Amino acid sequence: MRVVIIGAGISGLSTAYAIEQQADAAGIEIQTVVVEKKDRTGGKIWSVKEEGYLCEWGPNGFLDNKPMTLELCDKLGIRQRLARSNDNARKRFIYSENVLHQLPENGPSFLKSDLISWPGKLRLACETLIPVYRGDDDETLAHFARRRLGEEALDKLIAPMVSGIFAGDPETMSLKSCFPRIYELEQQYGGLIRAMIRLAKKKRAEIKEGKAVASAAGPGGILTSFVDGIQELTDVAAQSLRAEVRTGVGVNGILPKKDGYELHLEDGGILEADIVVSAAPSHALKDMLAESIPAMSEKLAQIPYASMNVVCFGYPADSIGRDLDGFGYLIPKKEGCNTLGTLWDSSIFPNRAPQGHVMLRSMMGGATNPSAIELSESEVKARVMGDLKRIMGITAEPSFVRIFRHQQAIPQYVAGHGKRLQELDGLLAAYPGLILTGNAFYGVGLNDCVNASNKAADRVMAFVRAQSR
């Protein structure tokens, strides 16, 4: 039986690897082919090394608070090569009212912080009085934040977090789909503060047991990568496959047949498959299905993407004029800056800049600033430099500049996303052997992608067993 996987990013590679592992354990012979439109594997994972700097084209790591990617590293034999982010990466900042404010790590530091005004703090304290939302509609993140936390918390805490993770707009993003755990906490405990109190005992127990607990100011877990960049994960995954991996092979169309599928390739060739797993972006898959399954193509077209410029600047350390003891900062939209935020990459992981130098990685664009992708290289550089001067006081010209452009960077889980996924599942029921995975559906992070890949492999094996009966 032949399985063709479209896309050789982390989703496609980890799906292929999981299929091989499960097939070996079950003693089932499966021929697996991975086709990738680009001339390299890795998808949006790409660690670019130039002039002694290591720039991440896309994601720079994964959080170790979930087991999926760690387990994959174990199976690939590369866990010992992991690099955990430096302890100072716990320090995260928000730029507000011309000041970099460190995000509070606990209650007392929150009370002392000037990030949120006293009226805003009092509004947050009233969160326990807010009733649980029981509406049938898919609540947006902005609606949730205003309702439970207040306008100031939305502007200075929630919106920057959403831009940092999704490059998204909280006014359109779905709470259930983007942050299902937050939705669950309200439904289960009646509110976030109540949930924090109830979960505090568990957290203290973890500390006593010596387990790593991240700052309350950031997401759970510790950011993890490799000394030579996150691309090591996809490189080793690709090298570990027995599957045939064909790069530079684009797919124009997927045609369902009586006994499987035909993939019509851009070079005019046809590839037959019993099972097709698409790990391609949803905007690419919709084009592949536009003629053969138009109803599915239309649903996929309803998942928008945000564009993004990733801008890496290198400097001699002595030209910065301030310490970079931290992870970096995010910027509320109301500050009127050109960038969404800047990561102090050389402070997070080793080997990101030459000795005596530092590297800053700024994000520009996203759902709230889509026109940024059209700016010239010189304009992008000038605007980033302007923000760095305003926020960090950096007046020096960067000695190293690298700009990456992502026309369709991150899928947006806008309100109604969950319903669209249910409708896609309903359509897929009529096409057994066609399986979708990737970050457009159930999570944009590396852990989410690996978890979805494992589930896709489970569905492949279930189909194979059903066919062999």
Which tens digit of pLDDT belongs to each residue from 101-131? Answer: 999 887 788 888 999 999 999 999 999 999 9
CB 262 within 8 A of CB 252: no
Asked whether the predicted pLDDT for residue 320 surpasses 80, the reply is: yes
Parallel/antiparallel/unpaired status of strands 99-102 and 92-96:
antiparallel
Residue 338 tokens read as: 């050109």
Give the model's confidence band at 62: pLDDT under 50 very low, under 70 low, under 90 confident, else very high.
Answer: very high
Residue 388 tokens read as: 């760095």
What secondary structure does DSSP assign to 249-311, as a single string? --EEEEEEETTEEEEEETTS-EEEESEEEE-S-HHHHHHHTTTT-HHHHHHHTTS-EEEEEEE
| Predicted pLDDT of residue 468 | 80
What percent of the chain has a predicted confidence (pLDDT) above 70? 97
Q: What is the mean pLDDT of the chain?
A: 94
| Predicted pLDDT of residue 401 | 98
What percent of the chain has a predicted confidence (pLDDT) above 90? 88
Average the pLDDT over 305-317 and give the result.
Answer: 98
* CA count, 13 A, side-chain hemisphere, 397: 2
Average the pLDDT over 446-467 and give the result.
Answer: 96
Asked whether the predicted pLDDT for residue 47 surpasses 60, the reply is: yes
| Predicted pLDDT of residue 212 | 47
Structural domains in the chain, sorted by start: 2-40+231-303+413-468 (3.50.50.60), 47-88+305-411 (3.90.660.20), 106-216 (1.10.3110.10)
What's the pTM value of the predicted model, to 2 decimals? 0.92
| Predicted pLDDT of residue 219 | 55
How many distinct helices (H) and strands (E) make up the chain? 17, 20
| Predicted pLDDT of residue 210 | 63
- Distances in whole angstroms, Cα of residue 410 to Cα of each of 165, 167, 304, 349: 9, 7, 9, 23
65: left (phi over 0), alpha (psi -120 to 50) or beta: alpha
Residue 357, SS3 per DSSP: strand
- Distances in whole angstroms, Cα of residue 250 to Cα of each of 274, 342, 451: 19, 34, 25
| Predicted confidence (pLDDT) per residue in 164-222, tens digit | 999 999 999 999 999 999 999 999 999 998 998 888 877 777 667 665 444 434 456 89
Give the model's confidence band at 347: pLDDT under 50 very low, under 70 low, under 90 confident, else very high.
Answer: very high
Lowest mean pLDDT of 8-22, 123-137, 144-158, name the range.
123-137
Residue 144 tokens read as: 């949730």
| Predicted confidence (pLDDT) per residue in 358-370, tens digit | 999 999 999 999 9
Q: Which residue in this structure is represented by tokens 């949120």?
A: 116
